[in-house]
Amino acid sequence: MAFLDCLAQLDGRIRLVVDRDGMIVARPRLASSLLGNMIGDNQPASRGNGGVASRIVAAPRLADRLLRVRGDETEIAMLERADGGGPIIVRASAIDDRHVCILFLMASAKRSGRIEELGSLFGLTACEAQVVLDMIEGRSPAAIADRRGNSIHTIRAHIRQCHQKIGAKTREEMLSRIARICL
């Protein structure tokens, strides 16, 4: 658990180690406060130790999908935050036959380094990378246009360019490709 705390402090990403039944084996201390209603605490432990266990309780179909990853597979999804903030990007990858690591990335205010990173990875201009970051944070094209003082047509043109440069046809596919590389 201390290792997961250190990783969370370093990169701001919450990682859970979960068994295939959805029981959380290891998590950082910050997990309960940041993930809130996604984790169900105070459930009877199934390990026979008479203690308390935690389980992933939110979005049961998504949790099942995340827990089915095997080998080198990864599964990526986006969840809406209960507090109305930007979405949470979730990535699951298999650790072994019995365990999965689930990584949660919350939208962050640290944008400048991300803009340069997206630009160099995908050949995006600074404006295009900023539009992508706004989309990752859950903003609609209209909201992005208002925020940046551009027309909706300009923002849609940026989004089309991003799709082309990243090699994606839909918003979800574009964000999934970005998450696979950047997470």
Q: Please report the DSSP string for 158-176 in residue order.
A: HHHHHHHHHT-SSHHHHHH
Look at domain 112-182 and name its CATH class.
Answer: mainly alpha
The radius of gyration of the chain from alpha carbons, rounded to an integer in Å, stands at 18
Task: Return the number of other C-beta atoms located less than 10 Å from residue 133's C-beta.
Answer: 19
Closest C-alpha to 93, from 1, 30, 183, 3: 183
Fold classification of 2-106 (topology level): Beta-Lactamase (3.30.450)
Burial of 48 (0-12, 13-18, 19+ CB in 10 A): exposed
> Per mean pLDDT, which range of 56-60, 118-122, 141-145 is the poorest?
56-60
pLDDT above 90 covers what percent of the chain?
Answer: 21
Q: What is the pLDDT of residues 21-64, one digit of tens each?
A: 888 888 887 766 666 656 665 444 444 433 445 666 566 787 88
Q: What is the pLDDT of residues 145-160, one digit of tens each?
A: 999 999 999 999 999 9
Question: Within the chain, which residue ranges are assigned CATH 3.30.450.20?
Answer: 2-106
Question: Within the chain, which residue ranges are assigned CATH 1.10.10.10?
Answer: 112-182
What is the reported pLDDT for 165?
A: 92
Q: What is the C-alpha separation between 82 and 57, in angstroms, rounded?
A: 14
> Which of residues 126 and 8 earns the better pLDDT score?
126
pTM confidence score: 0.58
